[in-house]
Amino acid sequence: MRVGFIGLGNMGAPMATNLVKAGHEVTGFDVAGVQIDGVRSAASAAEAARDQDVVITMLPSGSILQSVYGEIVPAARKGACLIDCSTVDVESARAAHAAAEAAGLLSVDAPVSGGVGGAAAGTLTFMAGGTDEAFAVAQPLFEIMGKKAVHCGAAGAGQAAKICNNMILGISMIGVCEAFVLADKLGLSRQSVFDVVSTSSGSCWSMNTYCPAPGIGPQSPADNEYRPGFAAELMLKDLKLSQAAAEGVDAATPMGERATELYEAFVAEGGKGRDFSAMIEALAGQSRR
């Protein structure tokens, strides 16, 4: 397929690379001027979208997504499929779908889970919203960039699923960080905490795959001075999305609310630009009283 790829950051770059490796013809654009081996560079989002079978976006926010759609929707050829893999609010996702459909384009919201490691390894999970027809066009690409794609429902359903997943992630990462901080003070080695918890009922992705303690478990941003990875401000963005969504439908999410407050403080107090797992250092530096 001919694929346009807009947003070649921590996630987009390895995803685009996997499409190239699978033999697709990829044209990319990123405002930061990112160049990737095997990806033809376009001078604008509109140029990257022109004459493509599929256009993938992997952008930081809903407002940026909507402004990029303002450029790519008029440029894409009729019948092309737009796949947005960014994590954004459900309203922006639905607005993007509506703009695409009004122009005779297919459209899927397909945020991902699995982090930069999953993007590089091609093992992401895609959660998709849109019509059956659009999902069918996108599915072969999901199979290259990921290991699983779930069609969650109509427009915006992928983002709704993502918001629920990442609310759990924010809460569980704080839980794992708290456990290490408590264990340190109780005189337990971090290695023994990992060895027990990763094979016990406290096991979770934040412990087993993305351990926030350096030198323990599989390679993670903790082993790279907490360079993201998944930046704390993006975690905060997702937690805020979860709280806005919960507010809109009157869902009780007290742990999600507390996790949002803790990431808000972390980002304001030096966590911006660091991986979200660096929360362990912030908690370790605090006292209970």
Applying CB under 6 A, the residues found at the interface with ligand NAD are: 6-12, 29-32, 34, 45, 58-60, 64, 68, 86-87, 112, 115-116, 230, 234
Kindly tell me which of 115 and 130 has the beta carbon lying closer to ligand NAD: 115
Give min distance, CB of 246 to ligand NAD, in A: 18
Distance between CA atoms of 216 and 201, rounded to whole angstroms?
19
Measure Cα distances from 95 to 109, 126, 165, 170 in Å: 11, 20, 22, 27
Q: Cα dist. 173→219, 243, 262 in Å? A: 16, 17, 11
* Nearest approach, Cβ of residue 31 and ligand NAD (Å): 4
Residue 29 C-beta-side C-alpha neighbours within 13 Å: 19
Shortest Å, Cβ 1 to ligand NAD: 21
Measured from the CB atom, the residue of 125 and 253 that comes closer to ligand NAD is: 125
* CB 111 to ligand NAD: min, Å: 6
**Cis preceding-peptide flag for 146 (omega within 30 of 0):** no
Neighbours of 9 (CB within 10 A): 16
**Does residue 237 have an active-site annotation?**
no
Beta carbon nearer to ligand NAD, 80 or 85: 85
Q: Where are the alpha helices (DSSP H) in 57-148?
A: 62-75, 90-102, 115-121, 132-145
Looking at the Cβ atoms of 30 and 109, the one nearer to ligand NAD is 30
Nearer to ligand NAD, 159 or 253 (CB): 159
| Burial of 218 per CB tally in 10 Å (0-12, 13-18, 19+) | exposed
83 class by beta-carbon count within 10 Å (0-12 exposed, 13-18 middle, 19+ buried):
buried
Q: Cβ 8 to ligand NAD, closest distance in Å?
A: 6
Which of 162, 185, 237, 240 is catalytic? The answer is 162
Residue number with the smallest Cβ distance to ligand NAD = 9
The catalytic residue positions are 162
